[in-house]
Structure 1
């Protein structure tokens, strides 16, 4: 039986565990929270409490596993300033993927479009060949460092993702705007004019399973390859206007690509996103709940 280690059993990791078991994998999951072990044990064959930066613990847990899927993600509440992001992103991303790269030759890492920064100059679509950027901002720098660790192994696979929505208990986009107002003083740390690429939780799980089943290696952008979404400012202004809230101030600290992102490479392998953009209906004036 194939054996899989999932590093970080949050919403995505938990769903990957269930999908993998349905495909005949034996799954070991990890959490940093002992109180979650009982629940997570219903989703995985074994659950281990560890931190990704503990390379010895990761190596011991990965023994006998055919692959590691790293779904670790920094906590928003711990990343409000560049200084907080420096610590949180380095610990959660770079150190965890260093540990994974030392423990297995097959590693799949869920990365972020933030590695592209604003995408640089030009009008062509952003592809996996587009140079990474924004090397000083921790939210980009440490995704890039984690990617480098992933790609240092023989069968490393990086899935670059946009914002994820739709996970069980996940915040709606309205809730995200509300959090920006309440926790960040009405300020958004990202760029106003970047298209608000987003991907449904189910499509992320499908992408991970697709990468496993098709033995994908290298880097893949994962998003809707057929529609260009509205910008951050268009979406969040529309939400604020609907709720009669003051509009957010965009700080541009976390840069995001300002033009179309191509997912041609993963689409060529047979993968497709299935879920629509949740913000399209709002901007079309339908007033859908977000």
Structure 2
């Protein structure tokens, strides 16, 4: 199998290594020419391009059996709604449109943000739950990108929570400290949504599994056995742990307000291997 990985960040590099080790051919992309030499250790070919450059994506995808779109906006460029409007459309929608025009089989790494708060009711949120929060850029443009991919019967969308554990990535205490230092102690999410997170290795393995099984359609991917503590519980515990003021919740970006079901993905033979990264700090402060 020959695979184009659109966006060779942490997930893209690890996926490329996994594919190559099993004898597959990998074509990678980056927007930064200085990264080419490093990325050549992970891919058979490396192209410098933006996902929005449709003709260049099509050229890079020649002969490929699948395209994996791992693109995501830089969080530091998404502080305001106006910034998110520009970044999310450019990075997500245009990249997926280019990928879909280049290859019928596209796998896109999407986000639980498409569900907004999940709507009314207390039933678990599943792939059949209507998407919402159509005005917020970080939700509506993931939805628009998904639509581009799903125009093909071979398209596959994996919806993930926030990722953690990638090489060199910030852990949750560092993220909280950044919110305090860089965002004035304010975070865009509400206090009551469960803080779902998924380990970097589970993301890579889930994508590889989906490619191997030739999955199509939409799948939620998360720890299916546990519901994590709410944002406020987790972040308050972390703030207290590292000795900084507790955060303020803006509730500008809606997040799912109850359990998210990954039954559909687990039924294909995959299960998440890493548990809740914040369970220990929550338990420690709950008992103190």
The interval holding the TM-score normalised by the smaller chain is over 0.9
Which string of whole-angstrom CA distances, capped at 9 and with x for unpartnered residues, describes residues 7-36 of structure 1?
000001111111111122100000000010
Counterpart in the other structure of 1:39: 38
Structure 2 counterpart SS, 1:132: coil
How does the TM-score come out when normalised to structure 2? 0.98
Please give the root-mean-square deviation of Cα atoms over the aligned residues, in Å: 1.0
Structure 1 counterpart SS, 2:3: strand
4+ long deviations beyond 4 Å: none
Q: Distance in 1 between matches of 2:23 and 2:217?
A: 25
Alignment of 1:50-129 (within 5 A): 50-129=49-128
Q: Distance in 2 between matches of 1:43 and 1:243?
A: 37
Counterpart in the other structure of 2:6: 7
Counterpart in the other structure of 1:171: 170
Counterpart in the other structure of 1:220: 219
Alignment of 1:141-180 (within 5 A): 141-180=140-179
Which string of whole-angstrom CA distances, capped at 9 and with x for unpartnered residues, describes residues 73-106 of structure 1?
1100110000000000000000000101100010
Q: Distance in 1 between matches of 2:193 and 2:285?
A: 23
- Contact between 2:33 and 2:48, CA under 8 Å: does it hold in 1? yes
Which string of whole-angstrom CA distances, capped at 9 and with x for unpartnered residues, describes residues 246-268 of structure 1?
10000011110000000000000
Which string of whole-angstrom CA distances, capped at 9 and with x for unpartnered residues, describes residues 102-155 of structure 1?
000100000000000000000100000000000000000100000000101121
Structure 1 counterpart SS, 2:219: strand
Structure 2 counterpart SS, 1:185: coil
Q: CA, structure 1 residues 286+23, in 2 after alignment: closer, same or farther (shift >3 Å)? A: farther
Structure 2 counterpart SS, 1:155: coil
Q: Distance in 2 between matches of 1:30 and 1:49?
A: 6
Q: Distance in 2 between matches of 1:58 and 1:67?
A: 12
Structure 2 counterpart SS, 1:284: helix
Structure 2 segments unaligned to the other structure (5+ residues) = none
Q: CA shift at 1:286, angstroms?
A: 7.9
How does the TM-score come out when normalised to structure 1? 0.97
Q: Distance in 2 between matches of 1:153 and 1:63?
A: 18
Counterpart in the other structure of 2:229: 230
Structure 2 counterpart SS, 1:122: coil
Which string of whole-angstrom CA distances, capped at 9 and with x for unpartnered residues, describes residues 227-254 of structure 1?
0000111110001111121100000111
Which string of whole-angstrom CA distances, capped at 9 and with x for unpartnered residues, describes residues 41-83 of structure 1?
0011110000000000000110100000000011001100000
- Contact between 2:106 and 2:154, CA under 8 Å: does it hold in 1? yes
Q: For this pair of structures, how many residues does the alignment match?
A: 286
Q: Distance in 1 between matches of 2:79 and 2:163?
A: 19
- Contact between 2:237 and 2:285, CA under 8 Å: does it hold in 1? no
Structure 1 segments unaligned to the other structure (5+ residues) = none
Alignment of 1:8-23 (within 5 A): 8-23=7-22
